[in-house]
Amino acid sequence: MRFPKAFEKAEETAATIQNEHHEEASRQLIKSLTRDYNDKVGILSLTATPAHTLMWSHYADSHKGVCLEFCTSEGSFFSRAQSVNYAQDFPHLEILRLINDADFREATPWILTKSSDWSYEREWRVLDFKNGPGVQVFTPECLSAVILGCLIPEVERDRVMSWVKNFPTPVRVLQAKMSGKSFHLQIAD
């Protein structure tokens, strides 16, 4: 008969922690979740906006890199992509379900949520709960185009062109260019 009293005491302690230390407990939980999911879940981040200037600035060496375009047809590796939700607050997570979740799938809402400050990215993510982080292999048919940055150095451009020429399936090569009239990028053949 000691167990009901122990559970009662545990619930009382949990309520005290939640009421008095909610903010710190939430911060610690988020840090722990971030560490666990980054170590155990493979996350591939993609964008739906290849012509967004900030995306090139942040993720393609300030317009000197490339952007890869992938086919998302049914059955392809990229058809598993899920859109990211943008919000002001963290998503609600049921702690007990997370604790008992061996393959981390219960954290999907958390993994697919970012601050609304990042909404311009229009991000999509492919989550791999089975293989975890690391290099993933996809069939060559999944790559549909390579977009060259508007400031890509000539030596890098030549390297990419040689790579595309020797690629096992046809791949379009497109060029990003700064618009002459505005701050927008244009993607052209």
Same domain for 158 and 96, yes or no, is yes
Same domain for 24 and 55, yes or no, is no
Length of the chain: 189
Range 128-164 burial, b when 16+ CB lie within 10 A, else e: bbeeeeeeeeeeeebbbbbbbbbebeeebbeebeeeb
For residue 25, the enclosing domain spans 1-40
CA nearest neighbour of 107 among 90, 87, 123, 88: 90
Does residue 77 contact residue 142 with C-beta atoms inside 8 Å?
A: yes
Same domain for 81 and 116, yes or no, is yes
Tell how far CA 185 is from the center of its chain: 23
Same domain for 4 and 34, yes or no, is yes
CA nearest neighbour of 130 among 50, 69, 40: 40
Same domain for 35 and 48, yes or no, is no
Instruction: For the full predicted model, state whether its pTM sits above 0.75.
Output: yes
Same domain for 129 and 166, yes or no, is yes
Does residue 91 contact residue 111 with C-beta atoms inside 8 Å?
A: no
Same domain for 153 and 175, yes or no, is yes
Tell me the two tokens of residue 133: 């982080």
Same domain for 160 and 115, yes or no, is yes
Same domain for 8 and 84, yes or no, is no
CA nearest neighbour of 129 among 46, 43, 68: 43
Tell me the two tokens of residue 167: 């690629």
Same domain for 6 and 56, yes or no, is no
Q: What does the pLDDT read at residue 1?
A: 44
Q: What does the pLDDT read at residue 34?
A: 67
State whether residue 156 is helix, strand or coil.
helix
Q: How many domains does the chain have?
A: 2
Same domain for 75 and 125, yes or no, is yes
Q: What does the pLDDT read at residue 129?
A: 86
Q: What is the pLDDT along the chain (189 residues), one digit of tens a residue?
A: 455 666 677 677 767 766 666 667 666 766 676 676 667 888 999 999 999 999 999 999 999 999 999 999 898 899 999 999 999 988 877 666 666 666 667 778 888 999 999 999 999 999 998 888 899 888 999 999 999 999 999 999 999 999 999 999 999 999 999 988 888 899 998
Same domain for 45 and 104, yes or no, is yes
